[in-house]
């Protein structure tokens, strides 16, 4: 298969990094196509942990080329720091291995300042943004005043665009939010340095990807966040500022829709989300604390504890439909080990008795929804060493069979631990 897309089916944090790292060995290039450094992918290889925010997870495989597409918003300081950390651990990140689209928009200091100022002003109504400047950067992109990676290579254009942007942004920061103004010259000099450092990495990524495909190569597109954080199809306004759906791989990287093949949807064996927003299956009892602690559910980007709940199959089923998912990749199954019973949310019920099989757009209706659960026996056997379907306990297999039926998509792989090798591969076509 020339192209595979990996997306999250929930609210992010499903373990996409591990799966992209696992499958990255089987392709020639790995591509990020949306989001920014508000995403964090944690990988464990040979017991060693790596946390990546912008660079695709496949960078840990020697000889693979990683691409940051035009749909990603890039904080150059974060990107350079990530490159340096990897280099310090012996991972090559030269221009031959890491390519940055000249059309990718840059997160500038005023984007972060506005992000934090707005969230502070909202007080109790804050939506839980990471404060990384992602939303304001996408706003400027849509308003056609953004600064792109290509601008780092044209100093006079860069200077004029910074001055023009700050004339407006400083007005808002100082007059509306009562925050300090930013210095245009200091920002200009800082970004000249970023340009010198990144110049060899910047290029026409869309053309490079298509040349690779035309030569018979293969690509893996790595989504960030999850389906229900999609700005169009998620639990708006508690969403991200981009489209994490599989279809966004086309416009976010610059490849034609006919290039896409398999679409793999990541499903955590339970549900989590960070920040505000509705969460029908959220647990605030001992079971929720068990999932949070045993699953180490703390954000790799923010460190914030994640809200935990039973697996919501309404959410997963909707993601299967929206993305055209051809295979499910289940992660963190081992976290459920030790629970006497496990629950699957099979539908929503309103106080009127009406039952829903999809997530409603109205947050008022969603807030009224109660989960309709199917309860199943748990298992106590250690599954971290299982490498085949048959090695899983019967109760565990029954849980997976029911999950597969409710989702309406086959299981492609099952992760039974954080390490790359702790995986049961069920779709043999993924073996390379």
pLDDT digits over 211-225, tens only? 999 999 999 999 999
Q: How far apart are CA 230 and CA 252, in angstroms?
A: 14
Check residues 103 and 43 and name the one with the higher pLDDT.
103
Query: In this model, does residue 39 exceed pLDDT 80?
Result: no
Burial 379-393 (b: 16+ CB within 10 A, else e): beeebeebeeeeebb
Torsion angle, alpha carbons of 358, 361, 365, 371, to 10: 30
Q: How far apart are CA 222 and CA 330, in angstroms?
A: 16
Burial of 259 (0-12, 13-18, 19+ CB in 10 A): middle
With cut-offs at 50, 70 and 90, classify the pLDDT of residue 420.
confident
Supply the pLDDT for residue 126: 61
pLDDT digits (tens, 9 = 90+) for 248-288: 999 999 999 999 999 999 999 999 998 888 999 999 999 99
Query: In this model, does residue 400 exceed pLDDT 80?
Result: yes
Structural contact between residues 67 and 253, judged by C-beta atoms closer than 8 angstroms: yes
Domains present along the chain, CATH in parentheses: 3-102+201-263 (3.40.440.10), 106-198 (1.10.300.10), 267-431 (3.90.170.10)
Helix axes 134-142, 109-122, angle to 10 degrees: 110
Half-sphere exposure of 67 (CA within 13 A, CB side): 31
Percent of the chain at pLDDT > 70 equals 97
Query: In this model, does residue 308 exceed pLDDT 60?
Result: yes
Query: In this model, does residue 72 exceed pLDDT 80?
Result: yes
With cut-offs at 50, 70 and 90, classify the pLDDT of residue 17.
confident
Query: In this model, does residue 41 exceed pLDDT 80?
Result: no
Query: In this model, does residue 300 exceed pLDDT 80?
Result: no
| Nearest to 165, CA basis, from 104, 111, 105 | 111
Burial 72-107 (b: 16+ CB within 10 A, else e): bbbbbbebbebbeebeeeebebeeebbbbbbbbbbb
pLDDT digits (tens, 9 = 90+) for 98-131: 999 999 999 999 999 999 999 888 876 666 667 8
Supply the pLDDT for residue 210: 96
**Which segment of 114-118, 233-237, 302-306 scores lowest on mean pLDDT?**
302-306
Q: How far apart are CA 81 and CA 195, in angstroms?
A: 14
Half-sphere exposure of 287 (CA within 13 A, CB side): 16
Peptide bond into 237 cis (omega under 30): yes
Supply the pLDDT for residue 281: 97
Query: In this model, does residue 132 exceed pLDDT 60?
Result: yes
Strand partners, 374: 344
Q: Is 291 helix (H, G, I), strand (E, B) or coil?
A: helix
Query: In this model, does residue 1 exceed pLDDT 60?
Result: no
Supply the pLDDT for residue 432: 64
Q: How far apart are CA 33 and CA 257, in angstroms?
A: 14
Supply the pLDDT for residue 131: 82
Phi, psi of 68, rounded to the nearest 5 degrees:
-110, 110
With cut-offs at 50, 70 and 90, classify the pLDDT of residue 47.
confident
Predicted model pTM: 0.92
Supply the pLDDT for residue 125: 63
Active-site positions read: 13, 41
Supply the pLDDT for residue 276: 84
Mean pLDDT for the chain overall? 94
pLDDT digits (tens, 9 = 90+) for 315-363: 999 999 999 999 999 999 999 999 999 999 999 999 999 999 999 999 9
């Amino acid at each position: 298969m020339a192209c595979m897309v990996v997306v999250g089916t929930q609210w992010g944090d499903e373990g996409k990094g591990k799966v992209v790292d696992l499958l990255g060995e089987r392709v020639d290039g790995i591509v990020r196509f949306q989001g920014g450094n508000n995403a964090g992918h944690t990988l464990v290889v040979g017991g060693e942990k790596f946390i990546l925010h912008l660079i695709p997870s496949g960078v840990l495989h020697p000889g693979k080329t990683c691409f940051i597409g035009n749909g990603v918003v890039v904080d150059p300081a974060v990107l350079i720091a990530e490159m340096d950390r990897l280099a310090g651990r012996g991972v090559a990140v030269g221009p031959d291995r890491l390519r940055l689209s000249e059309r990718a928009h840059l997160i500038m200091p005023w984007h972060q300042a506005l992000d934090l100022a707005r969230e502070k002003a909202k007080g109790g109504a804050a939506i839980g943004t990471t404060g990384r400047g992602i939303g304001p950067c996408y706003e400027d992109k849509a308003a056609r005043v953004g600064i792109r990676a290509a601008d780092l290579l044209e100093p006079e254009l860069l200077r004029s665009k910074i001055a023009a942007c700050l004339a407006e942004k400083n007005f808002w920061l100082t007059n509306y939010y009562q925050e300090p103004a930013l210095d245009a010259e200091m920002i200009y000099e800082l970004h000249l340095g970023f340009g010198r450092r990144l110049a060899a990495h910047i290029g026409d990524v869309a053309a490079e990807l298509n040349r690779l495909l035309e030569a018979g190569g293969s690509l893996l597109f790595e989504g960030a966040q999850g389906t229900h954080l999609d700005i169009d199809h998620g639990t708006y306004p508690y969403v991200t500022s981009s489209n994490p759906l599989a279809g966004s791989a086309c416009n976010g990287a610059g490849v034609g829709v006919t290039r896409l093949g398999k679409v793999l949807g990541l499903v955590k064996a339970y549900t989590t989300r960070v920040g505000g927003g509705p969460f029908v299956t959220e647990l605030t009892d001992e079971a929720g604390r068990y999932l949070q602690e045993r699953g180490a559910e703390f954000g790799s980007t923010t460190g914030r504890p994640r809200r935990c709940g039973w697996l919501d199959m309404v959410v997963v089923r909707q993601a299967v439909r929206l993305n055209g998912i051809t295979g499910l990749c289940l992660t963190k199954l081992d976290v459920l080990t030790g629970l006497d019973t496990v629950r699957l949310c099979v539908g929503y019920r309103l106080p009127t008795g009406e039952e829903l099989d999809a997530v409603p757009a109205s947050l008022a209706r969603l807030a009224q929804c109660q989960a309709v659960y199917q309860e199943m026996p748990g298992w106590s056997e250690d599954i971290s060493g299982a490498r085949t379907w048959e090695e899983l306990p019967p109760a565990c297999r029954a849980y997976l069979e029911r999950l597969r039926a409710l989702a309406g998509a086959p299981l492609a792989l099952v992760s039974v631990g954080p390490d790359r090798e702790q995986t049961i591969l069920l779709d043999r076509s993924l073996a390379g």
